[in-house]
Amino acid sequence: MNQISWQRALALLSLLLCLSVGAFAQEELKIRGLVKGGDDGEPLVGAAVQLVGGKAIPTNVEGKFELSAKMGDVIEVSFLGYIKESITITGDQALVIILAPASKVTSEILVVGYGTTNRKDAVGSIEKVSSKAFENIAMPSFDAGLQGRAAGVSITQQSGVLGSAVKVNIRGNNAITGNGNPLIVIDGMILYSGSLGNNDLSSRDSPVNASNYNTLANLDPNDIESVDILKDASATAIYGARAAGGVMIITTKSGKSGKTKFNAGYYAGFNQTTRKLPMLNGPEWMSLYNEARVNDGLQPLSGNQTFNVNGINLTPNTIANTNWQDEIFRQGIVQNATLSASGGTDKSRFFIGGSYRTDEGMLQGNKFDRFNVRANLKNNATDWLEIGIQVNPAYTKNRMVPTSFNGGIGAAQSNALPIFGTRNADGSYFGTQRAQGYNTGNNPLAALENEYLSNTFNMLGNVYAEIKFLPELKFRTSYQINYTSQRESFYTSGINRYANFNVNGRDTTFGLADLKERTVNALNWMTSNYFTYEKTFASVHNLKAVAGFELNAIDQEDVGWFTNNGAAGFSNPYARRLSSSIAWSQFATDQQKGTSPTTGYNSFFLQRWDSYFGRVSYNYDRKYIAEFSVRTDGTSNFGPDRRYGFFWSVGAGWNMSDETWFSAALPFVNLSKIRASYGAAGDPGAIPFGWEATYGISGGYQGVNGLSLNRLANPILQWANSRKFDVSLDYGLFNNRISGTLTYFNTVNTAILVNRGVPSSATGYIQTVYLNDKNAEVVNQGVEFTINSINVDMPNSLRWSSNLNLTFLRNKVTNTNGLGPDAFGDSPGDTRVIQGQPLGISFLAQSAGVDPQTGKEMIYVVDANGNRTGAVVEANATTVPENRVAIGNPQPTVYGGFTNELSFKGFDLSFLFSFSLGNTVYDDGGKRQIGGFSTTWNQRREVLERWQKPGDVTSVPRLTSNTSAGNWNNIDRFLYDGSFVRLKNITLGYTIPREWSSKMKLASCRVFVGGTNLLTFTRFPGFDPEVSRYQFSATDGNIAASAPYLATPQMMTFIGGFNIGF
Amino acid sequence: MKKILINGLVMASLALGSCQQFLDIRQPDVTPYDKALNDVNNVEALMRTTYNDLQGYNNFVRSSTMFGDEVDISRQSQDQFGADYITRNFGRFNGIGEGLWSVGYSGIFRSNQIIKATLANEYTTSAPIRSRLLGEAYFIRGYMHFELCRQFALPYSAGKTNPGVVIRTVAPAFADEVQVVPRATLEATYGQAIADIKASLDLLPETPANGRLGKDAARAALARIYFNMVEDGSSANYQEAKTYCDQLVQSGKYKVTLPMNTFSFDISRRGIIKADTGIIFELTNTLSDDAGGSLAGAFWGNTADNVFTPILTGSGSLLLALRNFGGLRYDTLVLNRDGARPYTAKYAGGTGIPFKNTPVFRYAEVLLTRAEANLQAGGDVPTSLADLNAVQAAARAPLTTTTDRDQLLDAIRLERRVELHLEGDRYHELRRLKSTNIRGASYNDSKSFFQIPNSEQRANPTIVLN
């Protein structure tokens, strides 16, 4: 076998050539050099050192090189991210070459689909957020850390519940029923964009948590090197059918050749709520209850008169005065520790690390632990073969708490009345079945006896090989698996469970603890294989091409079981996790005892992808750039005739500032680049097999199950199409001290996937059909503006830089095919899809205030066009639906962030304000908190301004206990300006001078304190303007996010910690 | 070696690609629609789900009761949509109306699927099974149209040209096959119901399995429908009603038994011949049906404190009628009789029986229908009096003796109120008899029943609103 590779032969040949040339040369000098980076003074390993006209050699692991040269020769030293340096040999034989870091404005490396590019050559709109945004900030997951960092990217953490989902929206909302989320790619692995965590037990038996969980929460933010956000067609089209919502490419850290560096970080702090909602206290509530009784023609309660509210008997003399928010909120401790090592030789690089996070959150009972390990290894097996592996096992333990309609903080602002106590005199929980023989949902503390655990093991593994056939031709093959195993165990204490039994002719209430469990196993595997060709012709024609294919399969299976009903459970309270100890109670009927006390179930989710892609980029002298990309995606989501979709983009750019006439005319402009792109990406929808009508198991008769049709067939179902246009100006002024981008974008979404209403008389419970709406269009257009500036730059003293990004967005449903507001479903909180309005617009009756004479809530009467006729009418179930109008704006007109970074000597300070302006929030719980119906919920303090007597002018109607009196109607009185500006995070750090740290044998040492959500400026009177509604479907996420119901506010977090390198 | 390695890697990765079969996966837990009904077992399963829709009859009964004057609806548990029964401000979003509309049309949709598959011979089975399946489907389709009319349209007595509901006789399978169909007239809708049930009468077995529809159910349904089709100046429909009642009476299979909770039994006693009971057709319930809000849930609380819907008291009330004319029906079915909140034990079942069946057609109703229809159609007094007395006697209530036609008619109607209390009959009787005071609303007031729900309105612009 020939052990000598052809490269080696080539090298030998060139060496011979050199030698032969050298034989005729004059005196050779032996040059030894060291290359360092100008930013941190660290040696640069692998920098290219090239004698002009000769072959480049890399610097070794110490950043050193050796070569022979003659006097007057020129060597060029270059390294990615640094400005190329040319040195003329003058006789000095020991060179120290310090490369100045290149301005990010032009040289920043951008990760794109199946390759990389740099700012100067890029045509697409790509935002890069570097590790700084995630490190040592008390963010529960990296995606929350993106908030305010990138233009065009809107980030909303659903709530302050630990691990709650983060809604990422790139350049507006493009989908109705489809999946509006961006595609997430981690080190080349395309993650399944649906959410595993949504599929919890909330849809079965009894709902438990009203919060969606974030599957990205198992990724340690400190492992992330950068996140590249792809926004326009040019950047996204190569991801084809899944890229309508944009793409986020996450690159994890990798080692650099050189001395092994260790990094240890730790921080600890506490969480608390950003706000408490002002609610009534016990005596106030009691007096309003009596007022409602009097208004209803009843006598006020006497002191010892028993009354029953929410199933609990009380007398006015025995009421408590409990502030349930104080009971539910707490200061929770958060701790985060990471340890990593990175380094390598010229052949191998590694990054290994581990982290542990334990977070108690601001809600009693809530706890989130994350165990994370990572190994990223690369090896240059030969000079033509690079192999590597990235492995990231992570385990999260999430102790969930009920929120919103399920209790907890949701109950604390609704049915947990202030007149209820927390405990009875004997120490048992107040209001539980043992005490009262009834409902237990009114005592959020008792509910904490339940235990809802969701433990997730997630494994990301990526192995690849990259073969260099020729210097300009590479082939890369990778094989990736993402395996998730989620185990959920929901234990309900006997205190919170009750069943009625007929015992000897008497009704008896009895509660047994129970358990239900679920395991999800999901395997997502993928292989991508592609060639990259990169060559410069005639030194000005730069060509780069990529072509390849990809296969991806997702297999998910759920297996679970639940306890059948209240008559079954754990008779032995100590065996509370053992399924075999669940049995029927002694009071169960004979029929029940003849059946199993538990029921098992399973379900499946399958998806396959078969994809082909390619891209050609060409530039002339890095001045004139053209790019073309394509992708064909096939998916099992669609029927055999419509499986494959074709996606494409074209783009062009012009580095105007490189023209000599330009730099002559405007010498202070370092960069002026115009680029534009147009193309199509797609949305495969969120429903697998959505084209196919099937019969599935259904409710039956006489104890035998039946069969029913789940939907109507639509074999022509296919991709939604997202046409994206983008034109941008990148600028850099005054030595790039001021730089940024100005962009206009316009995305037109057609063939949108919708669940459109069909007359239910035709199909019974199948009340929608899933189709591409032929004419419906959703348009997002807007302007993004970023400005990065270095405001002060005094060497070794004060440095101050800032970044402001603004996105002006206009989202509009331009056509609904003539269908009315309710045709796409009545989304929660009366949010709708209406022609001419933004997606998810509120569709509400307009409050005309409270009639001063009657105290009744009045609304404006509108005609068929939604215009007020001038008349007003009392709000009730008949009048409200007939007088609704589209109102408000669910999406901000401007959003963005403002970051400032200051450093002085060893101190550094950074802070980020994020903001969202011009949007409305529909407070869906408001109708029952300040609606005038006061007898089952606690009320917000605004209700004290209620109408009491004729002549009162107020916005809160007359109190009543009658549900039918026009209360509970969705009217615009509960639609508020949701604009806010929030100090998202602030960090103050101090880096100990190197002399001191080196004495401690440390390479570096920094201590810091920081905070999250410390300040909020808003006029929103509800709990928190920055929350979104829980979602039970992708549609809810697209449409109803702006109508929170019994929200959980965001957390405020304070931390302090340190980072040491050694 | 390098060549081998490179070729191996490239070939291996290329071999993985480019296979269309890769996308040919099927859902492992469902049957494709075009295959499912090729197997009679699946058709039977679909029929069971159709019966599951028919079990929604519970809610039709409950809703009819809430519309009427039998119970104190102000005392029902606090429920936003239930409160609309009080104010009669029924909007398109009323959840109860939405539920009834959906369950009714779901039964119709599934029946249409079965009718389509059967007529197209998509599956093979024996002639009797085919006949039964087709008969059951026609019955449910027809009967649901009738019940929907009673919840969403004016009564027939207010004029048969008024809008009824949408008639649906085809089952769309594809998204683009769904048709927008306007509301038919009451006459057309009732006509559809009658045609379907007459068709089922030819197809259904004479002796059905327990809890399944048979010819007698079809006869009882036709009697009920014709009895509701009041037309000024014509007694033809009463004559039709009487004809079907006659068939049931003359069969000799049924007799009146009381009190009601002794004949409503659980599924564990399936197979018991009901010839000695007063039941013509009942839906057999299971534990889960009961938990899902059967009649027991609607009308039967566990204790006096926990009564969902107490019986109305005072002059002209159901309680008074039961007290004076109820016999056993007052003595054993009314609990807490002299308390503030009297309630019914009608759906309580026996001790140890946690779930109750839902009676749909009872022999007592047939006798009372025949008694009145006979008189209305000009029949003789003794026949009607005998039917009336048979019901009264079984309940050990005072027997009517009058031979005056008008007095007898009143007595029959009173007995009907008492005997069929809380069975969803009273409200429709008030409408049939053109009462102008159904809890304050007139029989021809379009606010006294549901609005066409949103799930129909939003996609069907032809809908005429109530």
For chain B, how many structural domains are there in total?
Answer: 2
Residues of chain B contacting A766 with CB distance shorter than 8 Å:
109
Give residue-wise pLDDT tens across range A920-949.
999 998 888 988 876 788 999 999 999 999
How does the average pLDDT of chain A come out, rounded?
86
What are the Cα distances from residue A907, in Å, to A227, A902, A997? 26, 8, 15
Asked whether residue B1 is domain-assigned, the answer is no
- Whether B394 shows a pLDDT value over 70: the answer reads yes
In terms of pLDDT, which residue wins out, A520 or B268? A520
Per-residue pLDDT for B304 more than 70? no
Reply yes or no on whether the pLDDT at A626 is more than 80. Answer: yes
Maximum CA extent, chain A: 118
Same domain for B212 and B321, yes or no, is: yes
Nearest CA in chain B to A526: B16
What pLDDT score does A21 carry? 42
**What residues in A contact B341, CB-CB < 8 Å?**
none
Q: Stretch A1007-1034: mean pLDDT, rounded? A: 88
Which band of pLDDT confidence, cut at 50, 70 and 90, is reported for residue A17? very low
Identify whether B278 is part of a domain.
Answer: yes
Interface test with A, best of B39, B85, B105, B294 (most A CBs within 10 A): B105
Residue B424 and residue B466 share a domain: no
Q: Are residues B200 and B285 in the same domain?
A: no
Q: In this structure, is residue B27 part of a structural domain?
A: no
Cβ of A694 within 8 Å of Cβ of B36? The answer is yes
Give the pLDDT confidence score for residue A401 in this predicted structure. 87
B179, B246: one domain: no
> What is the pLDDT, as a whole number, of residue B266?
38
What tokens does A167 get? 């809604």
Q: Give per-residue pLDDT as tens, A60-106.
A: 877 888 888 888 888 888 887 777 888 888 777 778 888 877 777 77
**Residue B8: inside a domain:** no
User: Given B24, B42, B94, which is nearest A707 (Cβ)?
Assistant: B42
Of the ranges A190-199, A335-344, A509-518, A587-596, the best mean pLDDT one: A335-344
Q: For residues B300 and B381, state if they share a domain.
A: yes
Interface of A with B in 471-510 (CB under 8 A): 475, 477, 500, 502, 505, 507
CA atoms within 13 Å, Cβ hemisphere of B272? 15
What pLDDT is stored for residue B301 in this prediction? 62
Beta strands per DSSP E along A919-1018: 920-922, 975-977, 980-991, 1004-1018
- pLDDT tens digits, one per residue of A202-255: 433 333 455 666 778 888 888 999 999 999 998 999 999 999 999 999 999 988
pLDDT tens by residue, A247-302? 999 999 988 888 899 999 999 999 999 999 999 999 999 999 999 889 888 889 99
| Nearest Cα to Cα of residue A192 among A604, A607, A477 | A607
Contact A701 B211 (CB under 8 A): yes
pTM, two decimal places: 0.87
Give pLDDT, residue B195.
98
A959-986 residue pLDDT tens? 987 765 445 788 999 999 999 999 999 9
* pLDDT greater than 60 at residue A1: no
Amino acid A508: pLDDT = 66
- Average pLDDT value for residue range A7-25: 45
Q: In the prediction, which pLDDT does B278 show?
A: 81
Q: What is the pLDDT of residue A73?
A: 82
> In Å, how far is B140's CA from the nearest CA of chain A?
13
Q: Note whether B105 contacts A822, CB cutoff 8 Å.
A: no
Looking at residues A163-170, what average pLDDT do you find? 84
DSSP state of A893: S
- How would residue B355 be classed by pLDDT, with cut points 50, 70 and 90? low
Is residue B358 situated within a structural domain? yes
Indicate whether B379 and B276 sit together in one domain.
Answer: yes
Same domain, B108 and B245: no
Binning pLDDT at 50, 70 and 90, where does residue B319 land? very high
Q: Chain A partners of B37 at a C-beta cutoff of 8 Å?
A: 695
Determine the residue of chain A that is closest to B37 in CA distance: A695
Q: How confident is the model at residue B243 (pLDDT cuts 50, 70, 90)?
A: very high
Q: Tell me the sheet residues that pair with A582.
A: A570
One domain for residues B194 and B269? no
B130 CA: distance to closest CA in chain A (Å)? 18
B430 with B443, same domain? no
pLDDT at B90: 85
Mind telling me how many Å the CA of A445 is from chain B's nearest CA?
25
Of A823-832, A947-956, B359-368, which range is least confident? A823-832
B288 and B413 co-located in one domain: yes
From chain A, pick out residues whose CB is under 8 angstroms from the CB of B270: 702
Assign 3-class secondary structure to chain B.
Answer: CHHHHHHHHHHHHHHHCCCHHHHCCCCCCCEEHHHHCCCHHHHHHHHHHHHHHHCCHHHHHHHHHHHCCCECHHHCCCCCCCCHHHHCCCCCCCHHHHHHHHHHHHHHHHHHHHHHHHHCCCCCCCHHHHHHHHHHHHHHHHHHHHHHHHHHCCCHHHCCCCEEEECCCCCCCEHHHCCCCCEEEHHHHHHHHHHHHHHHHHHCCCCCCCCCCCHHHHHHHHHHHHHHCCECCECHHHHHHHHHHHHHHHHCCCCCCCCHHHCCCCHHHCCCCCCCCCEEEEECCCHHHHHCCCHHHHHCCCCHHHCCCCECCCCCCHHHHHHHHCCHHHHCCEECCCCCCCEECCCCCCCCCCCCCEEEEEHHHHHHHHHHHHHHCCCCHHHHHHHHHHHHHHCCCCCCCCCCHHHHHHHHHHHHHHHCCCCCCHHHHHHHCCCCCECCECCCCHHHCCCCCHHHHCCCCCCCCC
The pLDDT of residue A989 is 94
Contacts of A820 in chain B (CB under 8 A): 458, 461
Q: Name the least confident of A388-402, A610-624, A958-972, B162-176.
A: A958-972
Per-residue model confidence (pLDDT) at position B184: 97
> What confidence tier does B208 reach under pLDDT thresholds 50, 70, 90?
very high
Closest residue of chain A to B33, computed from CA coordinates: A694
Q: Measure CB to CB from residue B33 to each of A1, A634, A695 and give the nearest one.
A: A695
Is B375 part of a structural domain of the chain?
yes
| Domain identity same for B54 and B153 | yes
Q: Is pLDDT above 70 for B426?
A: yes
Which among B67-76, B127-136, B329-338 has the top mean pLDDT? B127-136
Provide the pLDDT confidence category of residue A477 given band limits of 50, 70 and 90: very high
Q: Which domains does chain A have, with CATH numbers?
A: 27-102 (2.60.40.1120), 271-329+928-969 (no CATH)
pLDDT at B105 over 50: yes
Residue A507: the pLDDT is 60
Nearest-by-CA chain B residue for A634: B23
CATH code where residue B271 lies: 1.25.40.390
Q: What band does A312 get if pLDDT is binned at 50, 70 and 90? A: confident
Nearest CA in chain A to B44: A706
Residue A1006: the pLDDT is 93
Does residue B217 sit in the same domain as residue B118? no
**B239 alpha carbon, distance to own chain's centre:** 23
Selected residues 744-783 of chain A with any CB under 8 Å from a CB in chain B: 756-767, 769-771
pLDDT at residue B349 in the model: 52
| Mean pLDDT value across residues A609-620 | 94
pLDDT band, residue B78 (cuts 50/70/90) = low
Q: Is residue B178 part of a domain?
A: yes
Q: Assess if residue B82 is contained within a domain.
A: yes
Band (B126; pLDDT cuts 50, 70, 90): very high
The identity of residue B262, as a single letter, is: T
Mean pLDDT: which of A136-140, A306-310, A524-528 is highest? A524-528
* pLDDT at B140 > cutoff 90: yes
| Choice among A755-769, A874-888, B12-26 with the minimum mean pLDDT | B12-26
pLDDT at B86: 83
Question: Which of B141, B194, B184 has its CA nearest to residue B160?
Answer: B184
- pLDDT at position B302 is 56
Q: Specify the pLDDT at position A797.
A: 87
**Chain B residues touching A879 at Cβ < 8 A:** 89
The per-residue pLDDT for B5 is 60
Domain with B105, as residue range(s), is 33-204+439-466
